[in-house]
Structure 1
Amino acid sequence: MNLAQRIQQNPMLLLGLGVVLILAALALIWLNLSARNEASRVAATPAAGERDMGTTAEVVVAARDILRGESISAEDLTLRRMEAPAPSGSFAKSAGLIGRIATSDIGTSQIVFSDSLSKEPSDAGVAALVPEGQRAFSLRVAEEDIVGGFLQAGDRVDVFATFPGAVYGQQAGIGQSGEDRSKSALLLQDMQVLAVGAALSNKGREVNAGARTVTVAAPPAALAKLALAGRLGHITLAIRNPADRDLASAEMVALEDLRPDASSVDPKREPETSNVSGHRITIYSGANQTIVTAPR
């Protein structure tokens, strides 16, 4: 007797077979869903090493307040682990940052970013270049006053000031030939040049022909001298050799100091005009007068 005949004679056999098939189908469905859930869970859970790299990072932070213009030392930095990826521009190691200059203030525990450090001290501004105890002071100059434009930031200079005779009360009335009382003085020596025009560093060899100001570092006691000399006189700068730090004796030079020394003139020699005879004629031109001799 085959299966079909048996099923016809016993309907319960058909019912049992159907139940078995349904249970088998349900089991297959449950296994399939379980496998999918497990695969999703594994994919969403990273390995231990991947979890540490993706959600935590060590970054360099300031161990103290770092002011703009300060040079970074090893004691200024420390490492801190943060529960997040490292921000863009931050550093994981401090070794390569030693000696760089802070271009902005960095607070304690603040993350150190690449745009707040530089290898060039000039990037921190002129204030960061001023030596401790000195001040930055700008002088108005022309091209001929800065050695033809060859003056560069970082040079050392002597400052000369020339004052016109009017500063000393020189007055010449009509018909009078007033003597020029202009004087020149070596005002200050061995001054550090911080900037020529807007150039805070000497990155090239171009002549600073267009510069109209020179900024120097000066002690506070010299600021009043520079201010008065710039107001009443004419300032000229002389470049020093970087290795020459000796100071010359300061002196005031007047017009008579430019004339030949009287001791070098032969006293027995008569002036050339002493043998000239004729009429003496005085010619007036404004406040000046000129005396000429005409033959008889």
Structure 2
Amino acid sequence: MRLMFALFLVAGIGLAVVAVIMAQGQIAQFQAERDHLVAMQKNAPRLANVVVVKKPLKYGERFTAQDLAVIKVQASALPQGTFTQIVAKAGTPEAEKAVFIEGETRPRATMRSLAANEYLLSQRVTKPGTDAGILASLQSNRRAFTIQVNVASGVSGFLRPGDTVDVYWSGAINDEPVTKLIESNLKLIAIDQNADPDRTAETQIARTVTAEVSPEQVAALTLAQNTGRLTLSLVGAHDTDQVGAIEIDRDQLLGIQKEQVRQVEKAKVCTVKTRKGSEIIETPIPCTN
């Protein structure tokens, strides 16, 4: 009986030791996993709130707070102009990054098409209560100016709202034909009466384009349009070079030097022919043209 009791006691102690060893191993594993997670969290990129649209929105479509959601994304990868809150109280720091101010019931509108779950950017939406269009596209202290174009002067239908163009004037200076760059990097905000940058009329030839300009440029372009012909040149999306003064006249185009012109005029001899009987007499006279 005592032997049996001793055997059970030894077996129990052995099982207890095994259990302790297994528990220690499990605890060590849990601690290692915990330390690994803490290290990962410490090295993980910081997340930030960003407002997205719940559903696809077309150009000019109105939306309210119910059409928006907030998600977490990597803070360092956020583009400029994102919103971090849907609604915030007026006068608070959060209000600068909110889509709507608390109590605001007027909807806003999109200024370009948005896909579902796409970031809502401040430069792609209007102010509350404002519909998409030219008025929503104008920046502070800027004006909308319309330029008449055709298939040649309007870059053959390739222009879209949001594009940037250079404007060239062609006319006469001192009775000599001249083409001159008068404005560079003008932003277009509408083609004909359409301010949608996603318009699908790929081959439509514009009759007018509307650019965002300063009041001084309005005066200059009005005078230029009334005294000559304007031609637009599309600026590339990645073009960062500053264009200097450009002016070409007929002599520069043909490579004619002014001295050559004077020599030709000096060497020119004019005559008049008269008939005297059967004889034709050629008499030199001063050249008038």
| TM tier relative to shorter chain | 0.3 to 0.5
Instruction: Find the structure with the greater CA-based Rg.
Output: 1
- The alignment's TM-score, normalised by the length of structure 1, stands at 0.47
TM-score, scaled relative to structure 2: 0.48
Which of the two has greater strand per residue?
Answer: 2
